[in-house]
Structure 1
């Protein structure tokens, strides 16, 4: 993991440092899965404020940190805005089909349970 010296530069694991168990842990939480599903659906860099989550701001910050530290997302500052991007290329290279399978399973579960905020379907 790179060490950030500038507070505006956040630590991210390099591709070869991303571990399956960390990714699965990050995706095992409903709020984090919802974030990743929405990011996959939007396929764009999104600010943290874009997400309407049923948790406090500090808990939201925690969820984004877990996703970043596991290698699921990348966070960068553009001016004063922190943008989030799904690390799809890295995840697909390391764990082919994993992200699409998890997102498809989450979408199927949302349909089965009648969730008003369905998860993304794989691209």
Structure 2
């Protein structure tokens, strides 16, 4: 997996999504224990899919991001293929199920 990209504005988020074939957003909040516990597990999963670029957003730093991406809780995990959202998981994520979903999308995206 590539290095995490910290994103600090809606413009950064849009540019990130549109400039990567496979773009993954991890949206977190500062005082969210679930967010902090889940992040290393998600990073471990994504390490198996090296072409996915990961962007990290702290929703506390971008107050408008919730409305922009229709986010109602944290953490939120969103995977985009060519700028289109193809997977969204929120709050309590089952890591193995998440991995299987990402795997299917990854290999389909690599076929096209």
Q: TM-score range by the shorter chain?
A: 0.3 to 0.5
What's the TM-score, normalizing by structure 1?
0.31
Relative to its length, the structure with more strand (as a share) is 2
Larger Rg: 1
What's the TM-score, normalizing by structure 2?
0.33
- Higher RCO, Cα 8 Å, sep 6+: 2
